[in-house]
Structure 1
Amino acid sequence: MSDKTQAQIRLVSCVDGEEVVQELPAELIQKGTVLYVRYEEPEASPQGGATRTTIKIAPNEVKIIRHGEVQSEHSFEYEKRLPGFYRSPYTTFNLSTFTTDMDVKIEGMYGHVRFAYDLYVFDDLSGQFAIDLHIQEEIK
């Protein structure tokens, strides 16, 4: 059985020290101990295509799945290097993430997820990233 509700998320991404903040409406789906956060990315691609993102939050693992104009999958588990991929109309490549920090605090369907990771593209370090996700009740 799953529960569904609307929510507001605040997503802070830090890429090599540069911060981007997004506040977006999202749909939450809870299945057992796993929470799924789904939202549309605010900026369309140069071709006007949309990308829908799903963040799967489990007690010890986070996975980000993007579908649409851009397709990608990144998995995060503390102190593990996990494979992923990135696909766009112009390029495709394999990547991996090594998670250096992770804190998941979810009560019911709301809470906070924070993690930091090193991103590797073709086994070369591409950058250091941090994600801070706050999930709260929908603002009406």
Structure 2
Amino acid sequence: MTKPETPVSRKRRVRVRIESRQSGQKQSWLARGELYAVNGMFYLRYDEPDTDMGRTTATVKWDESHIKVIRHGDVRSDLTFRSGTRTVGSYELPQGRMELEVMTHGIDRKLTDGLGMLSWSYDMVAGGAPAGRMRLALTIEEELTE
């Protein structure tokens, strides 16, 4: 049983392990970022470690009802994930913008005070064509200072 999340009162430096699965392929990256809470919503901000995204900052925000992933920089995107719900977002590269549709199957939160694991799975449709089932998992740990 997971304890309910409580808001953090200050920005904390964190390490983030990002794991992505699609079509049997697994990728993982490590990033450093900041975690904070505002009005009952948690915010995780980090520079995208995937070199394919160039210079891009990701902000993941969540509460008990949904997860939103916003990217700014060389890649711009805005996607919302709500369990059992189909949502529409966008993905923009220098070459152009594409509409994305996601059907979120489930969101799993194993978090205490914003730290722990946040994962979700979804089917994606990109530009009207099925792009497959995805699963993302973020492991968020406080960065220890020496």
**Can you list the C-alpha shifts for 1:14-41, whole angstroms capped at 9, x where unaligned?**
1111001112111112113211110001
| Residue 95 (structure 1) aligns with | 100
Q: Give the whole-Å Cα distance in 2 for the aligned partners of 1:17 and 1:3.
A: 38
| Residue 142 (structure 2) aligns with | 137
| Residue 30 (structure 1) aligns with | 37
Query: Superposed, which structure 2 residues align to 1:1-140 within 5 Å?
Result: 3-44=10-51, 49-140=54-145
Gaps of 5+ in 1: none
CA separation of 1:44/1:122 partners in 2, compared to 1, >3 Å: closer, same or farther?
Answer: closer
Structure holding more strand per residue:
1
What is the letter of the counterpart of residue 37 of structure 1? L
Corresponding pairs, count:
138
Say whether the 8 Å CA contact 2:65–2:82 is kept in structure 1. Answer: yes
Gaps of 5+ in 2: 1-7
Say whether the 8 Å CA contact 1:33–1:59 is kept in structure 2. Answer: no
- Superposed CA RMSD in Å reads 1.8
TM-score normalised per structure 2? 0.86
Q: Give the whole-Å Cα distance in 1 for the aligned partners of 2:49 and 2:72.
A: 14
CA separation of 1:57/1:87 partners in 2, compared to 1, >3 Å: closer, same or farther?
Answer: same
1:3 positional shift: 2.4
TM-score normalised per structure 1? 0.90
Q: Give the whole-Å Cα distance in 2 for the aligned partners of 1:50 and 1:120.
A: 25
Say whether the 8 Å CA contact 1:40–1:53 is kept in structure 2. Answer: yes
Q: Give the whole-Å Cα distance in 2 for the aligned partners of 1:75 and 1:139.
A: 31
Could you list the runs of 4 or more consecutive aligned residues of structure 1 that deviate by over 3 angstroms after TM superposition? 43-46
